[in-house]
Chains A and B, each alone.
Chain A
Amino acid sequence: MPTRSAEHSAGSAPAAADPRAASPWLGRLLIALGLAYLGVVLLLPLLAIFSEALSKGWLAYLTAIGDREARVAISLTLLSAAIAVPANLVFGVMAAWAITKFEFRGKSLLLTLIDLPFSVSPVIGGLVFVLLYGARGWLGPWLEAHDIQIVFAKPGIVLATIFVTLPFVVRELVPLMQAQTAADEEAAFSLGATGWQIFRHVTLPNVKWALLYGVILCNARAMGEFGAASVVSGYIRGSTVTLPLHIEIVFNDYNAAGAFACATLLTLTALATLVLKTWVEARGRGARRAALAVGALPVQAAPRPARSGA
């Protein structure tokens, strides 16, 4: 899970003199092995995307990404992310509040359902919508009678995107909010704050980095979704083709350079995501550690909230 990575590289480097420091040649060998593996599995493919994209020159590159179908695909990808991310953000906050601030029966079942999109193949994510809203699906005849098309149309793409990105925000918020006590919120409540005020002024400052982290991951996945989208899309060119699907079409048309040109857009988005993610982790780590440390104590013992400007 990406959750755990928020804690890594805390700078607790082992001192050079302690017995754990291995002999230099063993260290160098291990580093070389690890880097060689990453180089072949990660770095070469990353470089290949850009090299292939520019293999026919800048003009071909610009033509490929400026193509009308490519532009339609880009705007559909942006549109579905623009709907899916805010929807799952609101859902994630609501679900995390209900799950972490209250006790109720069936909570683990609820968490399992929320995790479901992570654990099934995206193809199944698309399939369930086809079975429900498709022409021969459960609601197909009714939808047809009312002239509503969901599958093989834009609403299907949006639904599929929402489905695959549903867990990201909740999964970041729940562990963090569970680790914090509700004492601050209860104090605010006893002082007469409304639910929204409590969330806005007490809870949000403690979880904002986790929230942002979840949104970044959610967005990255929304932009890149392929399996679920390919099942519900119907591949109607210039209408229901998202950017990853457009890349597939162009690639299968034996226009590798064009496909890689479009792929650079998503790759740059992914690299920006990594940079943003690393930055958020660095910002969030201090806040997270402090929040967890304070949360572990029964009585409020350390100054907590004024971390935002740190």
Chain B
Amino acid sequence: MTRPLKARVLPGFGLTIGCTLFYLSFIVLIPFAGLFLKGVAIGPTEFWQAISGTRAVASYRITLGSAFAAATLNAFAGLLIAWILVRYRFPGRRLVDALVDLPFALPAAVGGIALTAVFGPRGWVGRIAYPLGIQTAYSRIGLLLAVTFVGLPYVVRSVQPVLEDLPPEIEEAAHTLGATRWQTFAHAILPVLTPAILSGFALALARGIGEYGAVIFISGNIPLQTEVTSLVIAIKLDQYDYAGAAAVALVMLAAAFVLLLAINVLQAWSRAYQVR
């Protein structure tokens, strides 16, 4: 809805936009301009060398792969959890509903060491898994667990409101027309939920790509195997390789921008299905 009358009737535009831009310049704009300048200053050859190193390239694959796998897992699990929270009444439902947001509220580093405690060789799950030959920590499974943990709430929270507002007529009509329960779900409900699922998937993916705190404790940080791109940047910084760190950071930034664009499109699409 456009409201042409809104144009500058109210006071305070100069003050608020001035303060906003000033603050944003200091916290975001100037620091990121510094990052871009650093990327430009190191020259194309060195830039390419920094971003195409063996460890860096392996880390892109590992980061994207684990984030993608975790977001996919969370898309299915998130749909299931949103479904049971909206459609069923069971004891402790509200507690579960609140608990879903735990990965938002719990510091990533705490999540990381907690996962290590459960899935490490002496942990409650690790004690069972290790003798079976499944290494649940300091491995790709550990990495996947950490990324899955931090991305868990996104799909649940994007699907839940759409599912709640789903008009009952859709299912009633399908039922009246003789559709089985599965047909109703697959052909009447799922298409409506798809934009929300994808939007949650993209958010979880974005979070997974940038995840650091939860990952470094449980992934084992094995170069070429479980070393994520954030860690590659941190290591380059520790070695005072500022140029290399900036170059790899710019690659991540470009990836983040592409995802951000996708998320905005998906959310607009998702909102179109959400009846207020």
Contacts and interface: CB of A to CB of B under 8 A. Distances in A.
A121 B212 contact: yes
B222 to A, nearest CB: 16
B207 to A, nearest CB: 9
A46 interface: yes
A220 interface: yes
A98 interface: yes
Nearest to A135: B240
Given A37-B81, A41-B149, A270-B105, A227 B213 contact: yes
A102 B83 contact: no
Given A122-B213, A127-B233, A277-B105, A42 B152 contact: yes
A230 B237 CA distance: 11
Given A123-B212, A263-B110, A14 B203 contact: no
Given A19-B171, A44-B125, 16 more contacts: A9-B85, A40-B125, A41-B149, A46-B114, A49-B113, A91-B20, A101-B13, A120-B253, A122-B212, A138-B34, A182-B9, A227-B108, A260-B113, A270-B102, A274-B101, A275-B98
Interface residues of A, number: 112
A38 interface: yes
A46 B107 CA distance: 12
B23 A247 contact: no
B97 A8 contact: yes
Interface in A193-230: 194-195, 198-199, 217, 220, 223-227, 230
A79 to B, nearest CB: 17
B13 A102 contact: yes
B242 A263 contact: no
A65 to B, nearest CB: 14
Nearest to A296: B276
B113 A247 contact: yes
A225 B107 contact: yes
Most B CB contacts (10 A, CB to CB) among A2, A12, A38, A220 go to A38
B161 interface: yes
Contacts of A69: none
Contacts of B9: 182, 186, 189
Contact of A130 (B124, B181, B237): B237
Contacts of B11: 189, 194-195, 198
Most A CB contacts (10 A, CB to CB) among B5, B104, B123 go to B104
A162 B160 CA distance: 31
Interface in B241-276: 242, 245-246, 249, 252-253, 256-257, 259-260, 267, 276
A224 B168 contact: no
The main secondary structure of chain A at its interface with chain B is helix
B27 A163 contact: yes
A251 B115 CA distance: 13
Contacts of B23: 87, 91, 94
Contact of B240 (A7, A136, A225, A247): A136
Given A163-B27, A226-B213, A123 B234 contact: yes
B87 A14 contact: yes
A45 B109 CA distance: 12
Interface string B99-132: 1111111111111011101100001110000000
A82 interface: no
Contacts of A1: 154, 157-158, 203, 267
B110 A131 contact: no
B96 A91 contact: no
18 contacts: A1-B154, A5-B101, A9-B94, A22-B87, A101-B10, A114-B28, A116-B32, A120-B256, A121-B211, A124-B252, A127-B245, A136-B240, A163-B31, A194-B11, A220-B105, A244-B109, A270-B110, A274-B105
A113 B157 contact: no
A48 B233 contact: no
Interface string A73-113: 00000000000000100110011011001111000001011
B172 A18 contact: yes
A194 B11 CA distance: 8
A120 B230 CA distance: 10
A194 B172 CA distance: 53
Contacts of B94: 9, 278
Interface in A128-174: 128-132, 134, 136-138, 159, 162-163, 166
